[in-house]
Amino acid sequence: MTSASTSTPARDFSAFFSRFGWPENRGRLPFCVGHRGASGHETENTLTAFRRAAELGAEMWEIDTQLTADGIVVISHDDHLERVFGKDLHISQLSFADLRAAVPDVPSFEEIAALARETDCGLYVELKRAGTGPLCWQHLKDMEQRFACFGSFDPAQVRELRELNCDYPLAVLIRVGADPHAAGDEASADILHLCWEKASDTPQEFVTDELIERAFAEGREIVLWHEERPEVLADIMALPVLGICTNLPDLMRVRENHGSERPAKRVTSHDVARAAGVSRAAVSRAFTPDASVSEKTREKVYQAAKDLGYRVNYLARSLTNKRSDLVGLVAAGLDNPFRTQQVEHLARALIARNYRPILLPTSKEADSATVIGQLLHYAVSGVIVTSDAPPSHICEECAAEGVPIVLINKGEDYPLVDRVLSDDHNAGHIAADHLLQAGATRLTVIAGTRISYSSRRRAEAFLARAKTLGVEVSHVSVAQNDYRNGRDIVPALLDNGINGIFAVNDYMACGIIDGLNDAGRNDGSIKVIGHDDIPQASWGAYELTTFLQPCDIQAEQVIDLLSSRILDPDAVARVEFTPVTLIKRRSA
Same domain, 45 and 157: yes
468 and 497 in a single domain? The answer is yes
Residue 564 lies in a domain: yes
Query: Would you say residue 22 lies in a domain?
Result: yes
Report the DSSP pairing between strands 382-385 and 405-408: parallel
Q: Is 1 inside a domain boundary?
A: no
Structural domain range at position 283: 269-312
Task: Tell me, yes or no, whether 438 lies in a domain.
Answer: yes
Q: Is the dihedral of CA 253, 254, 258, 260 positive or negative?
A: positive
CB count within 10 Å of CB 236 equals 21
Whether 336 maps to a domain, the answer reads yes
Contact 116, 61 (CB under 8 A): yes
Question: What is the model's pLDDT at position 139?
Answer: 96
User: Would you say residue 263 lies in a domain?
Assistant: no
The percent of residues in the chain predicted with pLDDT above 90, rounded, is: 67
Q: Is residue 450 part of a domain?
A: yes
pTM of the full structure: 0.52
> Does residue 81 sit in the same domain as residue 105?
yes
Q: Which of 252, 277, 299 is the last residue of a domain?
A: 252
Domain holding 46: CATH number?
3.20.20.190
Query: pLDDT (tens digit, 9 = 90+) per residue, 485-530?
Result: 999 999 999 999 999 999 999 999 999 999 999 999 999 999 999 9
Confidence (pLDDT) at 7:
40
Are both 56 and 93 inside the same structural domain? yes
- Rounded to the nearest integer, the mean pLDDT of the chain is 88
Q: Are residues 43 and 160 in the same domain?
A: yes
Read off the CATH number of the domain in which 372 is found: 3.40.50.2300
Same domain, 347 and 406: yes
User: Is the domain of 97 the same as that of 236?
Assistant: yes
Whether 106 and 244 share a structural domain: yes
H or E element that contains 472? strand 472-476
Residue 439 shares a structural domain with residue 475:
yes
Query: Is the domain of 506 the same as that of 373?
Result: no
Q: Are residues 79 and 114 in the same domain?
A: yes
Q: Could you read off the pLDDT of 357-406 as tens digits, one per residue?
A: 988 887 655 556 677 777 776 678 899 988 655 666 677 677 777 788 89
Judge if 34 and 174 occupy the same domain. yes
The better pLDDT of the pair 45, 258 is held by: 45
Strands 73-75 and 60-67: antiparallel
Question: Of all residues in the chain, what percent are helix, strand and coil, respectively (each to 5)?
Answer: 40, 20, 40
Q: What is the pLDDT of residue 6?
A: 40
pLDDT at 425 over 70: yes
For 306, 482, 533, 558, the CA distances from 549, given in Å and listed in that order, are: 40, 17, 7, 14
Q: Does residue 2 fall inside a structural domain?
A: no
Q: State residue 360's pLDDT score.
A: 84
Domain count, the chain: 4
